[in-house]
Amino acid sequence: MQRTWSLPQPSGQTGKLVGTLGLSPTVAGILVQRGIERVDQAVEFLCPSRLNLASPFCFQDMERAMARLQHAHELQEKVLVYGDYDVDGVTSVTLLYRVLTDIGFQAVAYIPHRLEEGYGLNREAVEKAHSAGVKMIITVDCGITAVEEIAYAQSLGVDVIVTDHHEPPEVLPEALAIINPKADKGYPFRELAGVGVAFKLAQALFGRFGDKGVSLQAEQEILDLVALGTIADVVPLVGENRILVKAGLKQMEQTVHTGLQALLEVCGLSGKELKAGQVAYILAPRINAVGRMDSARTGLELLLTGNPDKAAELARRLSQENQLRQETEKQILSEAIAQLEQEVLPRVIVLSSPNWHHGVIGIVASRLVERYYRPVFLIAEDGEEGKGSARGIPGYHVLEQLTLQKEHLRKFGGHRQAAGFSVARSGILGLKEGLNRTAERFPDSLYQASLRIDNLVSLDELGEGLLTELEQMAPFGFGNPGPTLAAFGIPLASVSTVGKENQHLKFRFGNQGEWEGVFYRQGGRLASFQALSRIDVAFSLELNVFRGERKLQLVIQDAEAVATRQERAVEDPSERARALAEMPEGMPDASDEKRESGTGMSASGDSVSELVAGIEQVAVSVEGVVTVTIAQSDPQELAKGWEREKLVEMYRALRSLAAAANPFAWPALPSQEWEVQAIKIFEELGLIRCLGGTNPWQLELLPVSGKLDLESSLRLRALRRKNIK
């Protein structure tokens, strides 16, 4: 699939980021290209803080949910946590079930069988729950469209609290409470995953029942589940999702969940620094596999077990199921490609077969999108009904397009980029024709794949220092893709095939072949590169460590013969902008494929000297515990409050609280903005960690040895600069 390259546009907005924060021009340029132009935006993006999470009580129905849960707790009523069978659903059920049982609720966990029960709350499950004495159902990652099922539950005297993140229908279910950021204008961030919404309910529960023997670390300990479900559900990694995933990945490295420990071990990730890409492509598929091929309850059992031997056995079973899923996926993909080759490629791909496994067609749809850059609707026929999965491309709203074809559908729901649906077998042809008819309204440019280039570089600029800078922008994923660099006209010393069945290409760049690059799944293009002496390359950077040897490697995203910059540019920028405007608010461009690579920042000597010219560096000992190198500012800055003495005084106050009990509570009051910013500075420097809460916060003082340069804090630089003006 040939792609046009969308080149970065020159911008004069990088000066403030370089001058105020000391960022390198490369990173400053990438941030500006992604719409992060202001200093405060850059600080919050590069230093995501849990102190910035909104209160769970911003949800309008949260108080009502808490009142009902309080009643259930007092009467020891049985509460059913009902979820979905994908990773987002499994982690949501695990998280909320653990929290409820730890607090002392009589909780039951339930995940429907994909093939036998289908998606969402169903009438039979409600009836079984009622017969088992359940008085309340809490849905997680589902429920927002269950109008009839929730009405039936109410008729049986079973109250329902919906926690979901899917797009709400025109008519909402009459649940006791609905916690969904897309249906609640009171919550400031609408892109939470299902597990993120469940986490907000958990936060509220910790606030109300925190004295029921629950440790202050409890909120911290479930963040790994939040990160796992959020990454797996491919929601944009911006805003609160970015905060939760970054903190959750750190927690995952020291997880207290026995099953997750076992899964990391089986995957070869135990004891390693984790990245979002590893979770997305190694961990998550194993949990997803059992839900796709049979029952997701095996994944739930893994995450809930506290028995190491059982966890190891379940983790191995998940890996075996994943291998079976991969084989099934490969077979379906081959059949789908064979069907497509029999006709002219349509604007919207709609394929069906009675031989396809419903649990796998969603993955195959994603593979077809990558291959053909078309919206894809795949249907697994089962008797007179077909169950479908859809995947979109930027600018094509899958759920909206299904809504336009609702006369052909029995049921549907989902997101902008992915959805599920059911259709009568006799209606498949009408659905196909209808989708392609409405697709004619979109411009041709929408169906042309575009690769966004974040920055242009030369080979001389590459090095571990640049990679370290770039990695500061992680975690990467949908909505925050790993930056793609491009180099034009670089010398190509050699190219060869590598890997099983020679499916990959290995390049040697530079006059002496000193730079190495790998182009995955492009072995068939060997001949097209062998005759070239120079080449244009789009790539990300990664560090390849083999037998103790560290080597920088270019991971090729695209490569072509040398062309002029004008030939590389997107032909119609206005159409590109229109497509991007349809992405969720606050989301950078996500048109390129999901991938994991590094990004970052560094301090610029010139910009630091501009900020603190003539400043004398002095070492100040704080209570004999940690030595901090603090810059003594000029009188004008001292008057504004960001001076050495006040920060030391603040740190001493925190130390005093920690001496009595660590972790400890700190009230978050609007009148304490100075203290809030000081805590965020200490958090950025690794002196303190926020364990959770909203008011009060639960903070933990961390042991630190050696010297810390206070000037390395981006937040402090920004605040000082702001106060000087």
- CA angle (297 as vertex; 296, 300 as ends), nearest 5: 100
The Cα–Cα gap between 343 and 351 comes to 12
Side by side, the strands of the sheet bearing 376-382 are 349-353, 376-382, 385-391, 418-424, 409-414
- CA angle (656 as vertex; 653, 659 as ends), nearest 5: 150
Residue 8's H or E segment, with its range, is none
Residue 388's contacts (CB-CB under 8 Å, 6 or more residues apart) are: 352, 361, 377, 378, 379, 380, 420, 421, 422, 423
Q: How high is the pLDDT of residue 567?
A: 59
The Cα–Cα gap between 489 and 723 comes to 46
- CA angle (30 as vertex; 508, 455 as ends), nearest 5: 35
Residue 82's contacts (CB-CB under 8 Å, 6 or more residues apart) are: 93, 110, 111, 112, 121, 125, 129, 137, 138, 139, 140, 142, 143
Name residue 600's beta-bridge partners.
470
Q: How high is the pLDDT of residue 217?
A: 85
Q: Which CATH architecture has domain 4-34+454-581?
A: Beta Barrel (2.40)
Q: How high is the pLDDT of residue 662?
A: 92
User: For residue 477, which phi and psi values (nearest 5 degrees)?
Assistant: 170, -160
User: For residue 105, which phi and psi values (nearest 5 degrees)?
Assistant: -80, 155
In the chain, where are the structural domains located?
4-34+454-581, 56-221, 343-447, 612-724
Instruction: Quote the tokens at residue 15.
Output: 């000066």
Residue 80, classified by CB atoms within 10 Å of its CB into exposed (0-12), middle (13-18) or buried (19+), is buried
Would you tell me which CATH number, out of the four given (1.20.1240.10, 1.10.3720.10, 3.30.2310.20, 3.10.310.30), belongs to the domain 343-447? 3.10.310.30
Going through 478-532 in order, the beta strands assigned E by DSSP cover 485-498, 504-509, 515-519
Q: Which CATH architecture has domain 56-221?
A: Alpha-Beta Complex (3.90)
Q: Report DSSP letters for 421-444, one per residue.
A: EEEEGGGHHHHHHHHHHHHTTS-G
Q: How high is the pLDDT of residue 694?
A: 78
Beta strands at 418-424 and 549-560: parallel, antiparallel or unpaired: unpaired
The Cα–Cα gap between 462 and 475 comes to 21
The Cα–Cα gap between 216 and 257 comes to 17
Q: How high is the pLDDT of residue 671?
A: 60
The Cα–Cα gap between 401 and 377 comes to 11
pLDDT in tens, 533-546: 999 999 999 998 87
Instruction: Please tell me whether the overall predicted TM-score, pTM, comes out greater than 0.85 for this model.
Output: no
Nearest to residue 648, comparing CAs of 618, 668, 673, 671?
A: 618
**Before 475, cis peptide (omega within 30)?**
yes
Length of the chain: 725
Alpha helices of 104-160 — where are they, by DSSP H?
123-131, 147-155
State the average pLDDT for the chain: 86
Instruction: Using 50 as the pLDDT threshold, list the residues of the chain that sit under it.
Output: 565, 570-641, 725
Instruction: Quote the tokens at residue 210.
Output: 């925190």
Distance of CA 341 to the CA centre of its chain: 35
Q: Give SS3 for 226.
A: helix
Residue 716's H or E segment, with its range, is helix 714-724
The Cα–Cα gap between 288 and 366 comes to 15
Q: How high is the pLDDT of residue 609?
A: 28
